[in-house]
Amino acid sequence: MKRKARRRRLLAGAAAVVAGVAVGAVLGLSGVFNHVIDELSLPLRHEDIIRQQANDKQVDASLIAAVIYAESRFRDQTSRAGARGLMQITPQTANEIEKLSGGTTFKLADLGNPDINIRYGTFYLHELLNRYDGNEIAALAAYNAGPTQVDSWGGAGLSLDEIPLEETRAYVADVLDKQRAYRETYAKELGY
């Protein structure tokens, strides 16, 4: 009897130690698990390029990341409309950016290069922010629907509720939401 009781106490003690080690391991790895979950639900790639372009063009890094997320989920792709790369730039917009930026060697295939695509997309975002006096809502609406549309909707004074196209209104709301999430989740990576 005494042997069985002793054995039970030893097994219970061993189980408690194992449980304690397991809990400690889980708590110690929770940061790793949280990072994996963040990467799956809110991916971030090319943060070095994003930080550099944010600094060069005075555009919020979390806004750039949020536009990339909304446009491509950080995957290089081409849309049915011909928009290419991480920031989904159309060939027409790319040619306009090249002229505005003084470039002379652009080739359409360059939009598949993350460095060039983020550079061009951030340049365009910067131009739109300037055009609309820093109004992120108007600039994002123009990035999605085009400046001609945004000018007809009220331009620099545009608010989210005044965007008549549901798709564009949802796009702008999503980007603004993701901008906050990127700033909170990846502050260090984005240079905050």
Catalytic residue list:
71
Report the candidate in 60, 57, 66 with the shortest Cα–Cα distance to residue 87.
Answer: 66
In angstroms, how far is the first alpha carbon of the chain from the final one?
Answer: 65
C-alpha–C-alpha distance, residues 118 and 73, integer Å: 13
> What is the C-alpha to C-alpha distance for residues 174 and 192, in angstroms, rounded to an integer?
21
* Torsion angles phi and psi, residue 154, rounded to 5: 130, -5
Q: Which residues pair with 85 in a beta bridge?
A: none
> Is residue 85 packed enough to be buried (19+ CB in 10 Å), middle (13-18) or exposed (0-12)?
buried
